Amino acid sequence: MIYEMRTYTLRPLKMGDWLALYKAEALPVQKEILGNLVGFFTTEFGEVNQVVHIWAYESLDDRAARRAKMAADPRWAAFSAKNKELDAVVDLKSSVLKPTDFSPLT
């Protein structure tokens, strides 16, 4: 099992609009295609205006196949167009994490 942690930094005052758009249009597609949402968070301290979400995959190949299927989905294209129009995302960082042998998420 591997985990992908994606961190989005949003423009000030855009968090509510972005979360509403994401919840309504992106999340249903991602839950259907990506499958295993581990957690979805907003930051309270440190660097603010960030959203962090973590997805679990069987392997890098599983991740690649699922993300390719999502990219080809017209619902994802519609979300992407609205996301671009909203212009809330300033930065995106993606990390693939491999749990240690003693992690509860192995």
pLDDT at 105: 85
Count of domains observed in the chain: 1
Is 103 inside a domain boundary? no
pLDDT at 48: 87
Q: Which pLDDT band holds residue 77 (cuts at 50, 70, 90)?
A: very high
CA 55/CA 5 separation, integer angstroms: 7
pTM value is: 0.90
With a cut of 90, say whether residue 106 has pLDDT above it.
Answer: no
Q: Residue 81's domain is classified under what CATH number?
A: 3.30.70.100
Is 102 inside a domain boundary? no
CA 48/CA 93 separation, integer angstroms: 15
**Mind listing the pLDDT tens digit for each residue in 65-74?**
999 999 999 9
**Where in 26-100 does DSSP place strands (E)?**
36-42, 50-57, 89-97
Q: Which pLDDT band holds residue 76 (cuts at 50, 70, 90)?
A: very high
Domain encompassing residue 88: 2-97
Is 104 inside a domain boundary? no
